[in-house]
A = this chain, B = another copy of it.
Amino acid sequence: MSPRSEEANIQIKDDRQKQILCSALKVFIHKGFAAAKMSDIATEAGISYGLMYHYFQSKEEIYAELVKGAIEASKQALEKAQKEETEPIDKIRALIVRIFASVGQHESAGYYFVLMMGAMTSGAYPALSMEGPQGPGRPFEMLVRIIEDGQRKGQIMQGSPAELATTFFSAILGLASLKVSGTIASMPDPGVLMRIFQPASQAKTK
């Protein structure tokens, strides 16, 4: 037991966990949860098979940890957008630009969205649901609130805010899926997606 071994071990432990999570994200996305083998993740991370179970209890725990991170990241992104002192429509524009840029540049950003899509459709994560009992901390509802603000100010077309939000989310998730799989080479112009929100009156009066 050398003097600094405790701190160093904590550091190693933290690094290894991040390393495993990062590798697992790649593997989960490219193969899906069921097809992803623990040996795949171990190989990707460059460690032995058995060591995986020193840091995580099961494959599901790794997946759950990743989803937790994805939910947290999207919450923070939406909170950041909401706090900016700009018009609602500009908050949405900034959000799209930021998302497209991160997905276009960093593989892992796109992975996070695809992971969320999978977690959403599995129905195992209440924080990602769009229907049912509402909870103020859900990313979906945070977007709905921004849309409602924009409608009150006449910047966004009238109609169900939930419908607009789901269509928006669907396009983002779909685009991210196609991007990380290499089906499309780059993300489209943010303006294309902005049109979903555009009120007819805005184009008329301009």
Chain A contacts to B: CB under 8 angstroms: 31-35, 117, 120-123, 128-131, 157, 159-160, 163-164, 166-167, 169-175, 177-178, 180-185, 188-189, 192-193, 195-196, 198, 200, 203-204, 206
A196–B194 Cα distance when bound, in Å, is: 8
Number of copies: 2
**Complex interface: chain B residues within 8 A of A192 (CB):** 159, 163-164, 167, 196
B163 touches A189 (CB 8 A): yes
Nearest CB of chain B from residue A86's CB, rounded to whole Å: 22
A170–B175 Cα distance when bound, in Å, is: 5
A204–B204 Cα distance when bound, in Å, is: 4
B166 touches A130 (CB 8 A): no
A152–B181 Cα distance when bound, in Å, is: 32
B167 touches A171 (CB 8 A): yes
Most chain B Cβ neighbours within 10 Å, of A32, A172, A180, A195: A195
**Complex interface: chain B residues within 8 A of A164 (CB):** 188, 192
B32 touches A181 (CB 8 A): no
Given known A166-B175, A171-B174, A195-B198, contact A181–B120 (CB-CB < 8 A): yes
B131 touches A183 (CB 8 A): yes
**Complex interface: chain B residues within 8 A of A174 (CB):** 117, 169-174, 177
**Complex interface: chain B residues within 8 A of A198 (CB):** 195, 198, 203
A181 touches B131 (CB 8 A): no
**Complex interface: chain B residues within 8 A of A206 (CB):** 204
The 9 closest A-B pairs by CB, nearest first: A170-B174, A203-B203, A34-B35, A174-B174, A121-B181, A34-B34, A171-B171, A163-B188, A170-B175
**Complex interface: chain B residues within 8 A of A185 (CB):** 131
